[in-house]
Amino acid sequence: MTVLKKQIIEKNIPTWLTLLLATACGIIVANLYYAQPLVGVISSSIGLSANTSGFIVTLTQIGYVVGLLFIVPMGDIVENRRLVVVSLLLTGVALAITAVSKHAVPFLAASFVIGLGSVAAQVLVPFASYLASESSRGRVVGNVMSGLLLGIMLSRPLSSLVADFFGWHAVFALSAAAIIILAMVLSKVLPARKPSTDTHYTALLGSMWHLLRTTPILRRRAAYHACVFATFSLFWTTAPLLLSSPIFHFSQKDIALFALVGVAGAIAAPVAGRLADRGWTKPGTGIALATVVISMLLPLMIHTGSYTGITILVVSAILLDAGVSANLVLGQRALFSLSPEIRSRLNGLFMAIFFFGGAIGSAIGGWIYATGGWGAALWIGIAFPIVAILYFATEKKQV
């Protein structure tokens, strides 16, 4: 018996495997965000008008939501390692197509598939929770989610910098190579995990509505995080517009560097996991939600592009990312404490619901900034977590 198999039987996931899963999740999820700061240059290159350039990001998001609802649940019935590897190979091919695309149709079709296959990250997260013991599950999930959150936070500045030096095609070519290599590594080192249930796929999908209706933890945690992720998406949609305005006069490189400050907020993920392991999920949630509110209140003080204004904006970005990171880990830790046979479906529903909240935040953010300015966008950003706090106040027991 190998050391790895013995550790897994004993429910003691090795540190190197946790680190690998965290890195894998970060590399995979970054594909959802590479195109966001490059929409302008990509759309002009492939012949999309300004009115339709939003499809570059939207189709990737739609593909991701479809994958969350129809692929991630398969983790409850399909051998997990195979599901991850096949999804990654599909993503790698789609990334290669975008890297050589010169026309809109193949690029947009590949963008949808990139989103679809990138849900492999959400198969790996419950996979990690399965490998961990009950006493260490929060810590393991927190560490893995730190990698995923770093992928989200680093993807935008990384794609901006790579595109600035080598062109936007290089961003997708490099990611395609990274994903293919990752698929080969995971196929060799991940342990096999065949779920015990023999449920058919159609019955599996049909059970998801039942799970949503009968699992109050899922409904609550999804609602909390949909609200804070809406604020997260609104902020990172509108902050670059503010920074490039005459108030700050930031260049694209300056904006990319500013986006890097949010990385510091990812440290909250493993901390939140440890709090959950100690049974402090409820107070931790209250702190996370309050932190998001504070992060949106602080920038209301900004009236000029002074060093003080920039400092306040940096602190706000770190607090926002910390609150969102902590709340995400607390939510997933609560869900992964439920039956292992339904974790993939719970995770798929959870992610799809809060990702939809993020899409709403992005859409409202761009519109409200154009019509009401930065201050109006901030007040909308405050409203979302306030709604979550009001709902949180009705929670009678710890979830």
Q: pLDDT averaged over consecutive 10-residue blocks of the chain (399 residues)?
A: 49 84 95 82 82 74 88 89 96 97 93 95 86 78 82 86 89 97 96 79 88 92 94 84 80 78 78 84 92 94 77 91 90 84 85 85 80 90 96 77
Q: Where are the domains of the chain?
A: 1-195, 204-399
- pTM summary value: 0.79
Neighbour tally for 194: CB within 10 Å? 11
Residue type at 177? Answer: A
The torsion angle over the Cα atoms of residues 185, 188, 194 and 200, rounded to 10 degrees, is 60
The correct CATH number of 204-399 out of 1.20.1250.20, 1.10.10.10, 1.20.272.10, 3.40.50.2300 is 1.20.1250.20
Q: Cβ distance 274 to 333 under 8 Å?
A: no
Q: Which of 39, 34, 31, 33 is CA-nearest to residue 56?
A: 39
CATH topology of domain 1-195: Growth Hormone; Chain: A; (1.20.1250)
Per-residue pLDDT at 383: 96
Per-residue pLDDT at 51: 62
Per-residue pLDDT at 26: 94
Per-residue pLDDT at 399: 46
Eight-state DSSP code of residue 52: T
Phi, psi at 397, each rounded to 5°: -140, 160
The token duo for 381 is 């950003």
Residue type at 239? Answer: A
Residue recorded with tokens 């500013």: 258
Per DSSP, the three-state class of 99 is: helix
Residue type at 244? Answer: S
Biggest CA-to-CA distance, the chain: 65
Eight-state DSSP code of residue 397: S
The torsion angle over the Cα atoms of residues 112, 113, 114 and 118, rounded to 10 degrees, is 110
Per-residue pLDDT at 174: 97
- One fold for 1-195 and 204-399: yes
Integer CA distances (angstroms), 367 to 13, 202, 238, 372, in order: 46, 39, 9, 8
Phi, psi at 155, each rounded to 5°: -60, -45
CA distance 265 to 150: 9
Per-residue pLDDT at 128: 85
Per-residue pLDDT at 252: 67
Q: Cβ distance 62 to 109 under 8 Å?
A: no
